[in-house]
Structure 1
């Protein structure tokens, strides 16, 4: 039996996913690297690794460390720069057949706006996801995602330059109340939210007495953070009126349904792509099989139906 898993998002009639399974930024390269492991067009969408105006070398090694049920990373947003992506990577992606979403990184609202302006001109970019878990160097280094006022300023700057491209704000869990940030960026014009980004963490080696990461502190991801991610998606989806994309520790088709049950319209798969480069492709098939097994024929009716 064929299952219709398409999603037409509220308020965005021209933006749709053929299924709710996307890849998370920083875990799927630029997309082209994973083409040997499956058909990219079977995915709901691809979120490419974070892009900056100029190329970034990233942090020194070591910058990835395994943890129980997850991993730490402090890659430092290494990327070849937005112009290189547009000329060398984007043309190789099947953007006519699935949404390609650009994730962007900057250190002040003006830089976010400039970067957005470059990407907004590209037909192959379906939407722009904004990483606000980065420091505002002009405001003492506080992370945009930890201050509602600064998060709103970034959102407004991006929206001014985005044209008809939907803007997705990626929320940080490293805050006292994630709904405060969510409502602030919604009021500032965000079209969608994705949550969560990684949790701050660290690891140490008792034998060498050194941190596992050269940067000392990194982002924790993987199944260990799924309970936190579910809580955040549940809280945020109840606090805003725009679509929410769930991220955090997804390792099975059941995990996808859990995120949808608490209110997510779609999900992004991250750390599992490192364990199995074909994971996201397999997950699309397994998710369809699970829907059939559970006799779920209407994802919109299922979404947010948690009996809490």
Structure 2
């Protein structure tokens, strides 16, 4: 019997477990702990048009409930990604979903144009929930209509059939409204769950990820799935075990993303995927 597959945004995935943006490096870092092909997909760190050196040190601080991080969207820029990182990822036998971030709608559109025509890209994930957007210089999505405008710009410039995943904030009050807005603007699926806005010990804006945010992320996924029963939702935020993943799937999520847990144990995504497959 073949392993069950997951249908997400028109894509057939080998399973429901994906690596969350920014937590798997370039992908090469995870291959020592299992082939990427065993996962449903790999979401890249957020790629910007130009290379970004990232924030000042320290960038990651452990807390009793998870991780504080102020990485500053460090990435090599679009040209480097297309020439050196994407070709390798495309050979790994997994779906490659490229996360993108831009300072303007024009930058998002340009990223979509370039990436949408690049071999090996299965989908685009639009980062609409950076917890420290004001200090990283990316488009600050404060309202659902802001999120919709970004998705519309990206969707307009992608080839027909290239799906858009929109990653929205875990804002319980407005998450259903945000999800509805991005779906109406052309997103094929909604990723619910990202780091919560927080502060580093020195006061710098940061994000909080890990176990502390799992209950809120689960509640947000539950609300979106209940409010928009026809929507495809990817759950993310604090998922560290197969039971965590099952809780999100039971709430209505089609798939899940594993993020901060990989920084503690790089085998986490592979182990959860194996457990969900029923592998010994």
Q: Secondary structure at the match of 1:58?
A: coil
Q: Secondary structure at the match of 1:246?
A: strand
For residue 203 of structure 1, report the CA deviation from its aligned partner. Answer: 4.5
Q: Secondary structure at the match of 1:66?
A: strand
- Cα 1:203/1:183, change in 2 over 3 Å: same
Q: Secondary structure at the match of 1:220?
A: strand
Is the aligned partner of 1:253 residue 2:249?
Answer: no
Is the aligned partner of 1:229 residue 2:226?
Answer: no
For residue 3 of structure 1, report the CA deviation from its aligned partner. Answer: 6.8
Count of aligned pairs between the two proteins: 275
Give 2:265's match in structure 1, choosing from 272, 276, 279: 276
Partner in structure 2 of residue 180 of structure 1: 177
Partner in structure 2 of residue 62 of structure 1: 58
How far apart are the structure 1 equivalents of 2:125 and 2:16? 16
Q: Contact 2:171–2:220 (CA<8 Å) still a contact in 1?
A: no
Where in structure 2 are the equivalents of 1:1-308 lying within 5 Å? 4-9=3-8, 12=10, 15-95=11-91, 97-134=93-130, 135=133, 143-144=140-141, 146-163=142-159, 164-174=161-171, 176-204=173-201, 211=202, 216-240=204-228, 241-289=230-278
4+ long deviations beyond 3 Å: 134-137
Cα deviation digits, residues 56-112 of structure 1 (max 9, x gap): 011111111111121010101000001101110111124572210000000111110
Structure with larger Rg:
1
Instruction: Give the RMSD, CA atoms, in angstroms.
Output: 2.1
- Cα 1:95/1:158, change in 2 over 3 Å: farther
How far apart are the structure 1 equivalents of 2:227 and 2:3? 28
For residue 34 of structure 1, report the CA deviation from its aligned partner. Answer: 1.5
Q: Secondary structure at the match of 2:25?
A: coil
Q: Secondary structure at the match of 1:122?
A: coil
Cα deviation digits, residues 155-179 of structure 1 (max 9, x gap): 1000011212100000112473111
- Cα 1:110/1:175, change in 2 over 3 Å: farther
- Cα 1:19/1:142, change in 2 over 3 Å: closer
State the TM-score, normalizing by the size of structure 1. Answer: 0.84
Q: Secondary structure at the match of 1:93?
A: helix
For residue 150 of structure 1, report the CA deviation from its aligned partner. Answer: 1.1
Q: Secondary structure at the match of 2:98?
A: strand
For residue 183 of structure 1, report the CA deviation from its aligned partner. Answer: 0.8
Identify unmatched segments of 5+ residues in structure 1.
205-210, 293-308
Q: Secondary structure at the match of 1:193?
A: strand
Identify unmatched segments of 5+ residues in structure 2.
none
